[in-house]
Amino acid sequence: MTPPKYKRVLLKLSGEAFAGRGKHGIDAATLRKIARKIKPVTEMGVSVGIVVGGGNIWRGAEAERNGMDRATADYAGMLATVINALSLQDVLEAEGLDVRTQSAIEIHSVAEPYIRRRAIRHLEKGRVVIFAAGTGNPYMTTDTAAALRGIEIGADVLLMTKYRVDGIYDKDPRKHPEAKRFDRLTYLKALNMRLEVMDTTAISLCLENGLPIIVFDLDTPRSIERAVCGETIGTIVTSE
């Protein structure tokens, strides 16, 4: 087995991934499949932190377009990520993993509050830590939360998974079949191109703190393992 290149990773899972082939909700079979992609990584001795999105349950941007106050819509989206986090925690535990969920908004009955030092201690003990509720602030995406948590826990890389998109393209490949995929990009080029694959605040945080980003298709066989082992997969974004 190829030894892991990265010892601690922050994995970003979009809400879209939880729905599987559906548009909304949580698909149980898909969730189990995700858990079975994560388990082998932990067995290699890699520390895994996870940030989950909530778009399969709630989309704040759509709610705002329909007249809802933006901050209220964003807080509702944070609650959606808590639902996804608890669902993921359950299937990971069914696979025999030790898991803790921490929430950026306090929900003591179901999750620990986010405390950086406690999260790091969990990781040091071999536990998977799921970070829910984004950053706890409206107007911030879960991409930004992933970059922030990755930096805070000292992750070696940010693994940005996509559903049915195998990297960063110069345009949306689902709308433009001629779109070109990049194997490598610099942070600055990614920022200048204003690519929709990841928000600019998240990229800027990674740039300022030297956190590499790998963007890849979650559905690719052994996708997370391959990324952790440094194999060529998707697009890597670095300073060079």
Summarised one tens digit per residue, pLDDT across range 25-67 is 999 999 999 999 999 999 999 999 999 999 999 887 788 888 8
pTM, to two decimals? 0.94
Mean per-residue pLDDT, 110-125: 97
* 1 pLDDT above the threshold of 70: no
Mean per-residue pLDDT, 69-89: 95
C-alpha span between 129 and 193 (Å, rounded):
33
Q: Tens digits of per-residue pLDDT, 168-182?
A: 888 877 788 888 889
C-alpha span between 196 and 50 (Å, rounded):
21
Q: Tens digits of per-residue pLDDT, 183-223?
A: 999 999 989 887 777 889 999 999 999 999 999 999 999 99
**Lowest-pLDDT range of 33-37, 118-122, 164-168, 229-233:** 164-168
Type of residue at 23: K
Q: pLDDT at position 6, please?
A: 97
Q: pLDDT at position 156, please?
A: 98
Looking at the chain, the whole-number percentage of residues with pLDDT higher than 70 is 99
Query: SS3 of 237, please?
Result: strand
Looking at the chain, the whole-number percentage of residues with pLDDT higher than 90 is 77
Q: pLDDT at position 168, please?
A: 86
* 134 pLDDT above the threshold of 70: yes
CATH architecture of 8-238: 3-Layer(aba) Sandwich (3.40)
**Residue 192 CA: distances (Å) to CA of 162, 166, 188, 196, 204:** 21, 21, 6, 12, 11
Helix (H) or strand (E) holding 160: strand 157-162
**The residue to which tokens 């290699």 are assigned:** 44
